[in-house]
Structure 1
């Protein structure tokens, strides 16, 4: 591709891959390439208003939930805010619209970060890192490097996951403002400059006067909805960013209590004959499914769909002991079946050789047949949905409809 004459700037949608010929031609000609986030960043304050600081979040999984939790906490603190970016209001609308904000809670994808060279957040968090979108980035290294851009130029806090060393490595590599601090979050007892959990309490040892000896209670684990381990981690990351912005502890608690998760994210649909049915259709990759599977036991797992190049050995190895049974459907179900055969041969598997939308009803019935009182039927597919459904929302709705139909028959 050749650049049109007198091209001075290219503004791209995030989904366009970096290797496109047009971008190569632009790079050769010295023409800058901006994404929508970069454009919004550069247009801040053009109307003479003081631009609102950005509290930014990225990661393979949990971004949307964390940003919405953060916005809920900021609202509880009386701040004018919105969840924006890769969620809700577009950043350009937030920056150029009539609404004035005190601070923005910004979700950023790896695509958006790739095309945002001058972004400088007040504080930012990388929640976790696992292989995803490697077809777009070309390699895990390139994917991780783009995630790491979120820390560049941070002024107050770089929030990382103490259980994921790669996120801390990105903080170490970042070029930040003088005085910017590394703040970890952990599901165990926090050390100095960390947020963590002690006896069912979310505590802060980062934003207190004496980090060596003091810990500030923020909220109870029971205030997090739902209180699954990975969601508690999301809450801690949101709390860290809010505390970096000066939010008081009571607002963290109130904001977490007020937060309601989006549909299809570990959503409890019904209890039928003492079996819980959980919709986690949003678990579209192995990392998200791993977090979901770690939240329950024993489990009858409904899985399958489009694998997007993923492998399932590590996932199955990690959850094998929790599995009562597995129901597979979708285009790439054989990949999961093979991993189950290798690492969990004793677990019964129902392989539904169909990809029509009616397969979900059969999957729920088969799962109900395998389940015993006290079990959880968990639809966490570890795959994308587009082989059978328009999107993960429609897949989740099909699951919920099938569960409700089963409940009606059992009533």
Structure 2
């Protein structure tokens, strides 16, 4: 199916199974039921919330089976799954054996776009191990600055189904896609797409790094205008080479260095475009200044270049790129400056929940007191510590798997002082900030970039970041 074509599936009377309640399952069940399908929802859990959701769907005439997500309902002609359900679940194995297709919420949204009488807006898609949300929100800001009707949707929190079936008509959508979503989206064909970076993540779900990369690479399939890749990450360019794209689709690189032809990059503090100009062999178009990027950390500049490349692929003028980047404000807990106390900066990057994100965060500062630790999710830390060792003034460790980081520090940065907090209660963050403040010297940055998940101590990374910010502000008050 080409990227400008709209699916015309006749859903009337089709027996469909929706796997999973929640932010994608419930809208999918409703949308399919409204189109005349016979819908059965299956869900592993049967807690109070699931029972309440089930009651709402059953009132519409939708069948719901709680506590039984493993069995394929009889007569199922298609399974629509929530993105987090693993491919080796018995339900999916049974569907494959029966020759039943499996779609994710993204695939369903792609098939349903344009079926409500409104224009099917093209998609500018972003995936990668880290930086997806920031890049998509930057892209949406740029598109808005160009006067386009747009929204940041997908894995970012706004349901794609709501975007394609709602009342609002869009000129273009900025779409964040996870590897889970791409795995179940066989016919997705974006206008243009970017893979920001690739590092080991979610390997328990995908089974191998190769399978994870292949699912990320699906975002390039059928692109019509541009496949945007990271020149500093050859694996992303390899995915472009392997993709089956529309004739005339171009490979567009982004780099923190001087760009070559068909690339965007940085020259003397200026973001420049040598891809979407009349003579890319000899010309470059100024887009914005590095200072227009908030914050101007290296990996965030890379995000800005990727967003700019996708916007330029859609025909956005340079002034809108500049204005969109100036207007953009990052989400909380993403390299968020909290306070300066005694010439020491305190920065919250609680969103850095894996080593790849933390590596980028550590690279943004010259002298760091690093607060780290939590749930390692199977990660190893030797490479991260080796790369950051010269930047570390000191380290404060907390959380369930802190010993793994401490051991890597012992091997690769034995001269760096380490404070090991033997506690996993939420109050540990205040103590961590106090120890970090004692280790810091004027000009240093105290950086919360845990390289680990938060659930051993906090509900999520947001709560962890809030605890850090609260502790810093409390210290600022006492130091005033």
Residue pair 2:358, 2:451 contacting (<8 A) in 1 also: yes
Residue aligning to 1:122 = 191
Residue aligning to 1:175 = 244
Aligned-partner SS, 2:251: strand
Map Cα deviations across residues 290-334 of structure 1 (whole Å, 9 max, x no partner). Answer: 000000021000000000000000000000000000000000000
The whole-number CA distance in structure 2 between the counterparts of 1:355 and 1:243 is 47
* 1:320 counterpart (389, 395, 416): 389
Residue aligning to 2:448 = 379
Q: Return the offset for 1:48.
A: 2.7
Residue pair 2:335, 2:347 contacting (<8 A) in 1 also: yes
The whole-number CA distance in structure 2 between the counterparts of 1:236 and 1:2 is 46
Q: Return the offset for 1:49.
A: 2.3
Residue pair 2:119, 2:170 contacting (<8 A) in 1 also: no
Map Cα deviations across residues 136-159 of structure 1 (whole Å, 9 max, x no partner). Answer: 111111100000000000000000
Residue pair 2:122, 2:191 contacting (<8 A) in 1 also: yes
Residue pair 2:385, 2:413 contacting (<8 A) in 1 also: yes
Moved over 4 A (4+): none
Map Cα deviations across residues 99-137 of structure 1 (whole Å, 9 max, x no partner). Answer: 000000000000000010110000000000000011111
The whole-number CA distance in structure 2 between the counterparts of 1:123 and 1:143 is 20
Residue aligning to 1:150 = 219
Aligned-partner SS, 1:320: helix
Map Cα deviations across residues 158-214 of structure 1 (whole Å, 9 max, x no partner). Answer: 000000000000000000000000000000000000000000000000000001001
1:329 lines up with 2:378 in the alignment = no
Q: Return the offset for 1:3.
A: 2.3
Residue pair 2:371, 2:449 contacting (<8 A) in 1 also: yes
Q: Return the offset for 1:2.
A: 4.3
Residue pair 2:150, 2:174 contacting (<8 A) in 1 also: yes
Residue pair 2:231, 2:254 contacting (<8 A) in 1 also: yes
Residue aligning to 2:305 = 236
Q: Return the offset for 1:64.
A: 0.1
RMSD after superposition: 0.6
Q: Return the offset for 1:88.
A: 3.4
The whole-number CA distance in structure 1 between the counterparts of 2:324 and 2:458 is 34
Map Cα deviations across residues 347-389 of structure 1 (whole Å, 9 max, x no partner). Answer: 0000000000000000000000000111100000000000000
Structure 1: tracts of 5 or more residues without a match: none
Aligned-partner SS, 2:419: strand
The whole-number CA distance in structure 2 between the counterparts of 1:200 and 1:5 is 62
Residue aligning to 2:172 = 103
The whole-number CA distance in structure 2 between the counterparts of 1:232 and 1:190 is 14
The whole-number CA distance in structure 2 between the counterparts of 1:143 and 1:22 is 21
Residue pair 2:260, 2:274 contacting (<8 A) in 1 also: yes
TM-score (norm 2): 0.85
Residue pair 2:119, 2:169 contacting (<8 A) in 1 also: no
Map Cα deviations across residues 239-264 of structure 1 (whole Å, 9 max, x no partner). Answer: 00000000000000000000000000
The whole-number CA distance in structure 2 between the counterparts of 1:286 and 1:47 is 43
| Most deviating of 22-31 and 61-70 | 22-31
Structure 2: tracts of 5 or more residues without a match: 1-69
Aligned-partner SS, 2:143: helix
The higher-RCO structure (CA 8 Å, 6+ apart) is: 1
The whole-number CA distance in structure 2 between the counterparts of 1:203 and 1:28 is 51
Map Cα deviations across residues 329-352 of structure 1 (whole Å, 9 max, x no partner). Answer: 000000000000000000000000
The whole-number CA distance in structure 1 between the counterparts of 2:348 and 2:158 is 26
Of structures 1 and 2, the larger Rg is shown by 2
Q: Return the offset for 1:4.
A: 1.8
Map Cα deviations across residues 44-82 of structure 1 (whole Å, 9 max, x no partner). Answer: 111232200000000000000000000000000000000
* 2:470 counterpart (391, 401, 406): 401
